[in-house]
Structure 1
Amino acid sequence: MAVDFEIPEDAKAIRQKVREFVHSECIPAEKRLLDGEPYKEVLAELRQKARAQGLWCPFIPKEWGGMGLGPLANALVQMELGESYLGALALNTQGPDDATMLTILTYGTDYQKEKFLKPLLNGEKRVCYSMTERAAGSDATGMKTTAVRDGDNWILNGEKWFSSAASVADIAVVMAKTDPDAPRHQQFSTFIVELPNPGYRIIRDIPTMAVEGPLTHILGGGHAEVKIENLVVPHENLLGGQGNGFTMGQHRLAYGRLRHGMHNVAMAQRALDMAVAHVTQRETFGRLLADRQGVQWMLADCASELYIARLMLLHIAYKAEKGLDIRHENGIAKVFLANMVHKVVDTAIQLHGALGYSLDTPLARWYTSIRSQRLVDGPDEVHRWTTGRNVIKAYREHGTTAPACGGDLL
Structure 2
Amino acid sequence: MAWDFDTDSAYAERLAWADRFVRDEVEPLDLVLGSPFDKANPETVAVLEHLRAKVKDQGLWACHLGPELGGQGYGQVKLALLNEILGRSSWAPSVFGSQAPDSGNAEILARFGTEEQKTTYLYPLLDGRIASCYSMTEPQAGSDPSLFTTSARRDGDSWIIDGEKWFQTNARFAAFFIVMALTDPDAGAHHGMSLFVVPAGTPGLEIVRHVGVGTEAAERGEHAYLRLTNVRVRAEDMLGEQGQAFAIAQTRLGGGRIHHAMRTIGMARQAFDMMCERAVSRQVRSGTLGELQMTQERIADSWIEIEQFRLLVLRTAWLIDKHQDYKRVRGDISAVKVAMAKVAHDVVLRALHLHGSIGISNEMPFSRMMVDAETMALADGPTEVHKQVLARQVLRQYTPSTTLFPSYHLPSREAAARRYVDGLLEHVVAQY
* TM-score, scaled to structure 2: 0.86
Decide whether the 8 Å contact of 1:211 with 1:368 is kept in 2: no
Deviation of residue 224 (structure 1)?
0.9
2:23 corresponds to: 23
Residue correspondence of structure 1 range 213-224 to structure 2 within 5 A? 216-217=220-221, 222-224=222-224
Highest CA radius of gyration, 1 or 2?
A: 2
1:258 corresponds to: 258
2:302 pairs with 1:302: yes
1:408 corresponds to: none
1:195 corresponds to: 200
2:332 pairs with 1:329: yes
2:160 corresponds to: 155
Residue correspondence of structure 1 range 83-94 to structure 2 within 5 A? 83-94=88-99
Q: Which moved more, 1:363-372 or 1:127-136?
A: 363-372
**Aligned mates of 2:322, 2:394 — CA distance in 1:** 23
Structure 1, unpaired ranges of 5+: 401-410
1:150/1:75 CA distance change after superposition, 3 Å: same
Decide whether the 8 Å contact of 1:160 with 1:225 is kept in 2: yes
**Aligned mates of 2:172, 2:218 — CA distance in 1:** 16
1:6 corresponds to: 6
1:291 corresponds to: 291
Decide whether the 8 Å contact of 2:149 with 2:182 is kept in 1: yes
**Aligned mates of 1:212, 1:81 — CA distance in 2:** 26
2:178 corresponds to: 173
**Aligned mates of 2:30, 2:142 — CA distance in 1:** 34
Decide whether the 8 Å contact of 2:61 with 2:97 is kept in 1: yes
Decide whether the 8 Å contact of 1:29 with 1:42 is kept in 2: no
1:6/1:360 CA distance change after superposition, 3 Å: same
Structure 2, unpaired ranges of 5+: 35-41, 407-432
Q: Which moved more, 1:303-312 or 1:320-329?
A: 320-329
1:136 corresponds to: 141
Amino acid at match of 1:159: E
1:168/1:398 CA distance change after superposition, 3 Å: farther
**Aligned mates of 1:206, 1:57 — CA distance in 2:** 28
Decide whether the 8 Å contact of 1:130 with 1:172 is kept in 2: yes
2:274 corresponds to: 274
2:55 corresponds to: 50
Amino acid at match of 1:59: H
**Aligned mates of 1:201, 1:230 — CA distance in 2:** 11
Q: Which moved more, 1:42-51 or 1:352-361?
A: 42-51
1:209 corresponds to: 214
Deviation of residue 46 (structure 1)?
2.8
Decide whether the 8 Å contact of 1:81 with 1:87 is kept in 2: yes
Sequence identity (%): 36
2:336 pairs with 1:338: no
Deviation of residue 348 (structure 1)?
0.8
Decide whether the 8 Å contact of 2:268 with 2:306 is kept in 1: yes
**Aligned mates of 2:230, 2:135 — CA distance in 1:** 16
Measured against aligned partners, the alpha-carbon deviations of 1:202-259 in whole angstroms (never above 9, x if no partner) come to 1111244254598x54xxxx22110001111111111111000111111111111112
Measured against aligned partners, the alpha-carbon deviations of 1:49-79 in whole angstroms (never above 9, x if no partner) come to 3334333212111221123222111111111
CA RMSD of aligned residues (A): 2.2
1:145/1:183 CA distance change after superposition, 3 Å: closer
Decide whether the 8 Å contact of 1:211 with 1:369 is kept in 2: no
Measured against aligned partners, the alpha-carbon deviations of 1:291-346 in whole angstroms (never above 9, x if no partner) come to 12211110111111111111111111111111252111000110101111111111
1:246 corresponds to: 246
**Aligned mates of 1:306, 1:212 — CA distance in 2:** 32
